[in-house]
Chain A
Amino acid sequence: MAAEPHDPVDGEFYVGYMPEAPPRLARRTRGLVLALAAFVLAFGALLVSGQAGFGYGVFEYGTEREFEGVIEAAPYPVLAIARPGGGASRYLLSSFGKHGAMPLVSDVVGRRVQLRGTLAYRDGLTMIEVVEGSVKPVEGLTLPVEPAARDLGEVTLIGEIVDSKCYLGVMKPGNTKAHRDCAVRCISGGIPPVLLVRDSAGNASYYLLVGENGESLNDAVLDLVAEPIEIRGQLRRYGDLQSLHAAPATFRRL
């Protein structure tokens, strides 16, 4: 029927503004606090140790290097650097923060330049975060440093659209749902959108996403990033870069 009056601990009664807590209650509270502290710390250790890992992309934060090569825009800005043994390595370019590099290089496309920047790289794909004001045209060989793009036919690929800057190592993790908003902001800012495809063994391949007419697709893919997606399009190899040319309207969420 009626509520039994509480019997706080062995007849003791706690009043918070009293200077001392009743001794037995204080002792038991200390025990509970210690038990909770042990639980909380063990819980934190459990949570942190269960994470899936952060990927092995590298961003050489704080380290700037000098580069020299030819600026290409197909359609995303790329620095083609001649290899000592022939051919060229192509490095994607970005600007500081969540911005693409096109404003920094638009007036030197097709020209040989020197620039300074910070490397980000993963699985053989490399990006330079270009230091603003460091791009300087120099005399020397311009395009083409190697034959034009090769058409490898129509393919259907399943993967995830990522922003190439974060995924290469600037942010970890730089893909999936938790990173979606950042990827949207980066791609909206001009960072090249890339289709990340993994084979059954987990090996990654990257495909720059380009429109059917060679246009950039930054704005068109914003609503599709960080989701499983299927794209049917024309595969092209462009030196050591691969691009997938397709109409965004045909991109299919899975």
Chain B
Amino acid sequence: MSLGYGAVGWNRQKRIYDRLIVGGILAYLGVFIALGLALFPEATLETILLRGLGTCAFLLLHIVLSIGPLARLDARFLPWLYNRRHLGVSTFVVGLFHAVFSLVQFHALGDENPLVSVLVSNTRWSSVSSFPFQQLGLAALAILFLMAATSHDFWLKNLTAPVWKALHMSVYVAYGLLVMHVALGVLQTETNPLYAIVLCAGVAWIVGVHLLAGWREKSRDVDLVRARDEFVDVCAVDEIPEKRARVVMLAGERVAVFRYDGKISALSNVCQHQNGPLGEGRIIDGAITCPWHGFQYKPDCGRAPEPFTERVPTFRSRVVAGRVQVDPRPLAAGAHVEPALIAGEQGGERNGS
């Protein structure tokens, strides 16, 4: 969390993460180029470099797209999520190098402006095998640029989380364009079935891991509201570990029900930063802490500790005979709700207000 905007809010974990990104990219390119020139001495460095950058960017995009669903499936991947934006920006930068080298290699020093040439050299739109694949790559790069340019929290705040999130979902459009860029480009030249198999495996992995994560989410999302109840029984107090939450679906919205210090508080499960799952977070230093990027909220009012300004909707709760009950009607974001007290832990059972 940060109050002002800097280019990057550096911390130790981000530095480690970024060093691994840069080191990984350089190591990949080093292996690709060295092995390429050793195995194919007749090859030109430009082509090997161009292919190394292209495959590197595409591989990075697979990793970026895998982190979200993997973190939903296994919490061990949460550290990968924390600085995923830097990985996304790195993907764009490597893709940009690939594009610039391609532009110079295939379009520069000719009788047309290279930027015009890339759009007009191949216009066989009606053909499958001759379809203009470079334009597909260019369109994907434009999307990745838009995402990289708006990746900063400044844009997240000013565009609002839903708009920003929708914009960044276009990464899947970019991924689809790049799959076609590869299938209609280099796969039409390289006849080794290895590449078609690898591309199909990559697509199957991305689709599969997303479907699996979605299915897991869906299977959890059983709405507990069956009538217009004021309060809905959600679970026994003992089912919620201390300083953690249980996530329940109430009237179509996920609600995080936290237990801490003999009290119960219920809030929207959706972090205002990037829609992270607050209910999978912890209460640290008295504040609910999002597992994605560590944004914090006070459990009794859903407000970020001052001077931060994020707020999430709250819900009324109560404890009856060791059972937690929550009113499924959300209160305004940041509305104070007296926590429900747990009998025997805070001196008796009491309804939340």
A residues whose Cβ falls under 8 Å from a Cβ of B: 1-9, 13-21, 25, 28-29, 32-33, 36-37, 40-41, 43-56, 96-99, 171-173, 176-182, 184-186, 188-190, 223, 226-227
Contacts and interface: CB of A to CB of B under 8 A. Distances in A.
A173 B280 CA distance: 52
B247 A177 contact: no
B185 A177 contact: yes
B111 A99 contact: yes
A contact face: mostly helix, strand, loop, or mixed = loop
A121 to B, nearest CB: 13
Given A19-B13, A177-B133, 10 more contacts: A2-B247, A5-B244, A20-B12, A41-B27, A48-B36, A51-B40, A97-B110, A177-B130, A181-B122, A188-B110
Contacts of B42: 53-56, 172
B130 A180 contact: yes
B20 interface: yes
B123 interface: yes
Contacts of B289: 13, 15
B76 to A, nearest CB: 6
A54 B36 CA distance: 11
B60 to A, nearest CB: 9
A52 B192 contact: yes
22 contacts: A1-B248, A2-B234, A3-B220, A3-B280, A5-B280, A7-B75, A17-B9, A17-B294, A43-B59, A44-B55, A45-B31, A47-B55, A47-B195, A48-B51, A48-B52, A53-B40, A53-B42, A96-B109, A99-B109, A177-B133, A177-B188, A185-B112
B204 interface: no
A188 B106 CA distance: 13
B152 interface: no
A47 B62 CA distance: 15
B28 A41 contact: yes
Given A97-B108, A181-B107, A54 B40 contact: yes
B147 to A, nearest CB: 20
A18 to B, nearest CB: 7
A190 B111 CA distance: 9
Contacts of A3: 220-221, 246-248, 254, 279-280
A79 B215 CA distance: 69
Nearest to A12: B75
Contacts of A21: 13, 79
Contacts of B129: 177, 227
B224 A14 contact: no
Nearest to A176: B189
Contacts of B11: 16-17, 19
A52 B192 CA distance: 7
Given A2-B247, A16-B13, A182-B105, A25 B110 contact: no
Contacts of B64: none
Contacts of A98: 109-111
A15 B76 contact: no
A25 to B, nearest CB: 7
B241 A2 contact: no
Nearest to A61: B44
A6 B110 contact: no
Contacts of A17: 1, 9, 11, 13, 294
B110 A54 contact: no
A9 B43 CA distance: 48
A1 B247 CA distance: 10
B186 interface: yes
Contacts of B249: 2
B107 A185 contact: yes
Given A3-B246, A6-B291, A44-B28, A181 B134 contact: yes
B66 to A, nearest CB: 10
B149 interface: no
Contacts of A55: 42
B170 interface: no
A180 B121 contact: yes
Nearest to A97: B109
Nearest to A55: B42
A99 B111 CA distance: 7
Q: Output the residue of A6, A17, A52, A180 with the most chain B CB within 10 A.
A: A6
Contact of A181 (B121, B195, B284): B121
A218 to B, nearest CB: 10
A4 B117 CA distance: 55
Interface hub of A13, A171, A227 (most chain B Cβ within 10 A) = A13
Nearest to B184: A177
A188 B40 contact: no
B88 to A, nearest CB: 16
B322 to A, nearest CB: 17
Contacts of B80: 29, 32
A33 B20 contact: yes
Contact of B76 (A25, A56, A171, A172): A25
- Of B77, B108, B109, most buried by chain A (CB within 10 Å of CB) is B109
Given A2-B234, A5-B240, A171-B105, A25 B35 contact: no
A19 to B, nearest CB: 5
B241 A5 contact: yes
Contacts of A20: 12
B79 A50 contact: no
A44 B123 CA distance: 32
A44 B31 CA distance: 7
A13 B281 CA distance: 8
Contacts of B43: 54, 172
